[in-house]
Amino acid sequence: AQRVTQPEKLLSVFKGAPVELKCNYSYSGSPELFWYVQYSRQRLQLLLRHISRESIKGFTADLNKGETSFHLKKPFAQEEDSAMYYCALRNQGGKLIFGQGTELSVKP
């Protein structure tokens, strides 16, 4: 079965604290994984993709095939990071399979 699981519906941290948004997947084959972010009243936009191994806005995510995880991390959260975060897997057919989303709230 192809599935993406984000176990936390809401994650609340204080500004400057480290943050980790969890994502686990189930996929037979080589997955292509993404993190999308949706800021308040804005459209969904791509934050990271695992193949590019880049850091965007201080966020990084490493694909761990052994643990079938693709957790999103940032060492020091900022208030402007508050948003909905979706982990997604793209299958061979091209469609995206999304997790349920995690709402990140960064408090001052």
Partner 1 sequence: NAGVMQNPRHLVRRRGQEARLRCSPMKGHSHVYWYRQLPEEGLKFMVYLQKENIIDESGMPKERFSAEFPKEGPSILRIQQVVRGDSAAYFCASSPEEHEQYFGPGTRLTVT
Q: Shortest gap between Cβ of 14 and partner 1 (angstroms)?
A: 26
- Indicate the residue among 19 and 88 with the shorter CB distance to partner 1: 88
Specify which residues 5 forms β-bridges with.
Answer: 24
Residues 67-86 that bind partner 1 (CB under 8 A): 86
- Shortest Å, Cβ 103 to partner 1: 11
The reply to whether 46 sits near partner 1 by the rule CB under 8 A is: yes
When asked if residue 17 is in the footprint of partner 1 (CB under 8 A), the reply is no
Distance CA 31, CA 21 (A): 19
Counting contacts by CB under 8 A, is residue 100 touching partner 1? yes
Q: Does 96 bind partner 1 (CB under 8 A)?
A: yes
By CB atoms closer than 10 A (0-12, 13-18, 19+), residue 82 is middle
Contacts of 14 (CB under 8 A, 6+ apart): 77, 106, 107, 108
User: Does the protein bind partner 1 through residue 45 (CB under 8 A)?
Assistant: yes
Spatial separation of the C-alpha atoms in residues 47 and 66, rounded to whole Å: 23
